[in-house]
Amino acid sequence: MVVAETATAMRRPHFALRKSTRKAILIWSFLAPSLLIFLLYRILPLGWNVLLSFQAWSPMKPAVFIGLDNYQEMLFDDEVFWQALWNTLGIIASAPIGIAIALGLALLVNSDIRGRDVYRTLIFLSYPLMTVAVAIIWRWMFDERVGLINYVARVLDLVDKPIPFLNSFTWALPSVIAANIWQMLGFYMIIILTGLQNIPGNLYEAAAIDGANAFRRFLRITLPLLRPSLFLCFVIGMLNSVTSFDLVYVMTAGGPGRATEILITYIYKLAFTQTRFDYAAALTVTFFVLLLGVTWTANRLSGGNAGAVGMD
């Protein structure tokens, strides 16, 4: 085949050159639309956000460079920013709870029991659902008067009087987090399950022969080998949860007060109800740097490349 190609190339040198150019044109014209979309809606916005955060600007008045004023206001004069930041960090910190539950479930559905595919499907079912509808459902599950959770708690005599979950400063954020975990659980489970199935079975057999009990096998084989999967879960779950604008917006709209305000909902309110695009851009940049930092740290800790697709 190589011979044939060389022969053709020798006979028609112009054709060979033209062919490679044509190939390059084909490749770049195939890439162009996607590249354009990403430049327009990913790269350009990133730069524009940074630029905007150093300016005083609104659609009505021309842009003025004001240096770090937006950041100064954010750090020193805005209590809501700090509240939203803490709530966002709280949601990030809650991701391991969901992952721990999912790890248990993955171990269970990975055993060779009957009907495990049905279990997998049912547990995973909540993930692809429309979050707005999920938020409405959970809003109502948590309702003070007629919510199912309060009903069960009262029947079991766990509480004296119903808890107004979403109207309480203590309970609102945990309730939103619970709804978020409910939705993400199946996704975590699937990722961990894939990781479990990649662990070679003979490792367990060897360990069993050496006399290691089930708990030690889990601790010394399963957990270390699952580390990349668990961190992948954390990175994706964290990104999904803190950007889950719809869940918070519909369940509580950030209330009561600012008890469930997270950065993304606050950014939305600043930009689109108060028309403070410039200031909201400064918050967006901060939010982005936070996400990047957490992802980077998780990557370092996982020792792999969680969140990234293999380059080849």
Partner 1 sequence: MRKYPRWPIHLALVATCFVMLVPFYWVLKTSISGENIFSYPPSIIPRHPNPFYYVDVWYAIPFARFFLNSVIVSVMTVIANVVLNAMAGYSLTQGFRGKTVVLMLFLSCMMIPFQTTIIPAYLITGKLGLLDSYLGLALPMFSTIICIFVFKASFDAIPHSLIDAARIDGLSEWKIIWKVMIPLAKSAMATNVILSFIWSWNNFMWPLIATRSADMQTLPLGLARFLSYQEDSTGALYAFCIMVLAPGILLFLLAQKEFVQGLTSGAAKG
- Judged by CB under 8 A, the chain residues 170 through 229 that form the site for partner 1 are 182, 185-187, 190-191, 194, 204-205, 208
**Which stretches of the chain are DSSP H helices?**
2-11, 13-38, 44-53, 69-72, 79-110, 116-124, 131-141, 148-155, 172-197, 201-209, 214-217, 223-242, 245-251, 263-272, 277-302
Tell the smallest beta-carbon distance from residue 23 to partner 1 (Å).
Answer: 7
How far is the C-alpha of 204 from the C-alpha of 213, rounded, in Å? 10
Q: Is residue 45 at the binding interface for partner 1, with CB under 8 A as the rule?
A: yes
Does 1 bind partner 1 (CB under 8 A)? Our answer is yes
C-beta closer to partner 1: residue 94 or 265: 265
Burial of 180 (0-12, 13-18, 19+ CB in 10 A): buried
Does 35 participate in binding partner 1 (rule CB under 8 A)? Answer: yes
Of the two residues 80 and 101, which places its CB atom closer to partner 1 in the complex?
A: 101
Q: Map residue 113 onto helix, strand or coil.
A: coil
Instruction: Give 238-301 as a DSSP string.
Output: HHHHHT-HHHHHHHTTT-STTTT--HHHHHHHHHHTS--HHHHHHHHHHHHHHHHHHHHHHHHH
Cβ at position 236, least distance to partner 1 in Å? 5
Residue 58 backbone dihedrals phi, psi, to 5 degrees: -145, 160
CB contact at 8 A, 99 and 237: yes
Asked if residue 256 has a cis previous peptide bond (ω within 30° of 0), the answer is: yes
> Cα torsion for 14, 18, 21, 25, to the nearest 10°?
170
- 113-137 per-residue burial string, b: 16 or more CB within 10 A, e: under 16: eeeeeeebeebbebbeeebeebbee
Does residue 41 bind partner 1 (CB under 8 A)? yes
Min. distance of Cβ 210 from partner 1 in angstroms? 13
Q: Which of helix, strand or coil describes residue 196?
A: helix
Give the shortest CB-95-to-partner 1 separation in angstroms: 14
Show the binding pattern over residues 143-172: x = contacts partner 1 (CB under 8 A), - = does not. x-xx-x--x---x-----------------
Shortest spacing between CB 226 and partner 1, in angstroms: 14
DSSP state of 74: I
Least separation, in Å, of the C-beta of 289 and partner 1? 10
Nearer to partner 1, 7 or 44 (CB): 44
Nearest to 67 by CA among 286, 278, 287: 278
Interface with partner 1 in residues 114-143 (CB under 8 A) = 114, 119, 121-126, 128-133, 136-141, 143
Query: What are the beta bridge partners of residue 55?
Result: 65
Piece of 75-83, 87-95, 165-173, 303-311 that binds partner 1 (CB under 8 A): 303-311
Q: How far is the CB of 97 from partner 1 (least distance, A)?
A: 15
Q: Taking contact as CB under 8 A, which single stretch among the options 70-78, 86-94, 169-177, 245-253 is the one that binds partner 1?
A: 245-253
Q: Which of 7, 17, 108, 223 binds partner 1 (CB under 8 A)?
A: 108
Based on the shown chain and the rule CB under 8 A, indicate whether residue 307 belongs to the binding site for partner 1. Answer: yes
- Give me the least distance between CB of 11 and partner 1, in Å please: 16
Number of residues that bind partner 1 (CB under 8 A): 93
The answer to the question of residue 84 lying near partner 1 (CB under 8 A) is no
Asked whether position 272 contacts partner 1 by CB under 8 A, the answer is yes
